[in-house]
Chain A
Amino acid sequence: MLGFDQARELRLLVIAPLFDEANKFRRQTLEIMRRLDAEGIDSFLPDLPGCNESSTPLTEQSLATWRSAAMAAAKHIRATHCFAIRSGCWLAPPAVPGWLYAPAKPKQVLRGMVRARTLAAREAGREETAETLMAEARIAGIELSGWQLGHKLVRELEAGEFAPAETHILIEQAVISGAPLWLRAEPDEDAAQADALAGVVANGMLGA
């Protein structure tokens, strides 16, 4: 777990996006956390089970295991608030008030990953269709863009409709303005967007 911890009163759980958006948004996530640190807010970015330095396999993970891990992390750091990004929003503990930044749609994230695989296969001269891949994936899991997803997670993503909890406030990209960094091929940072996001969260926490 990466964190800025000075045992301060205001303590924020940060939930990064899943899969490749986690990498693309990593620099920007830290930019936001540095700004919050300067505002007097402690913040923590946990590694979810199966991700980064976690010792458990990714194939065993599901949205359910990640949700309980996020809740456990919130308790561990004594989070007063949470800030979740894109697909990380699906995991934000409803018991902890906070902000959801540009929540992704589970079905769409899965479609995007399947599409990247079928396009890559086509380029390599193999014919794979989304339909046959998904039929297999629902039973045996699947490797997409280097992520080994278990069948349970595949089914959850396919069926998942995300609905924010009442305790969480949405921050849409239109409010932050600028190009969404998670779409870029390479990780990047944007000072103006980081200022805007940290501003929303800090104002909310300090004003509370």
Chain B
Amino acid sequence: MTGQNAATPLTDTPSVAAEEPTGPSRSAVDAALRAILRDVLALDEDQVAGFDGDTGLFGHLPELDSMAVAGVLTEMEDRLDIVIDDEDVDGEMLETYGGLLAFAEAKSVTS
């Protein structure tokens, strides 16, 4: 019975797809954001792959100084095709990987 229930959502793809008609998928934004942090901060692949929602960024990663923040935000605009305004940038957005990802996803959907 559990097997049957588990299989049901997988076959029900049309409604799942219809729930997220706009913006790139969560995993696409996630992958792009990890690549940006890897490229700008010169982190290795394994370290970036190990980031979770609670991983500390600004104030926790020594590589992420204010020049690097500017680089990360500019690359996010370029690769995610979004616009980031001055007032978007605050401590909460940059504090954790989860915070930055949530911000990137919200911007990707609205832009």
Contact = CB atoms under 8 A, between A and B. Distances in A.
Interface of A: 105, 108, 111-113, 115-116, 118-120, 122-123, 129-131, 145, 179-180, 183-185, 188
Interface stretch (B13-21, B24-32, B35-43, B100-108): B35-43
Interface stretch (B1-9, B49-57, B61-69): B61-69
B25 to A, nearest CB: 20
For the complex of A and B, the 9 pairs showing the least CB-CB separation, nearest first, are A116-B70, A112-B74, A119-B66, A179-B39, A115-B70, A183-B40, A183-B39, A120-B66, A123-B66
Given A119-B66, A183-B39, A111 B86 contact: no
Contact of B73 (A115, A122, A123, A129): A115
Contact of A183 (B66, B69, B71): B71
A105 B77 CA distance: 11
B89 to A, nearest CB: 7
Q: Chain A's interface: helix, strand, loop or mixed, by majority? A: helix
B42 A105 contact: no
B12 interface: no
A115 B74 contact: yes
B86 A118 contact: yes
Given A108-B74, A108-B78, A179-B38, A185 B66 contact: no
Interface string B68-110: 1111011101100000001001000000000000000000000
A183 B78 CA distance: 13
A184 B42 contact: yes
Contacts of B42: 179, 184-185, 188
Nearest to A131: B86
Contacts of A184: 40, 42
A112 B89 contact: no
Contacts of B65: 185
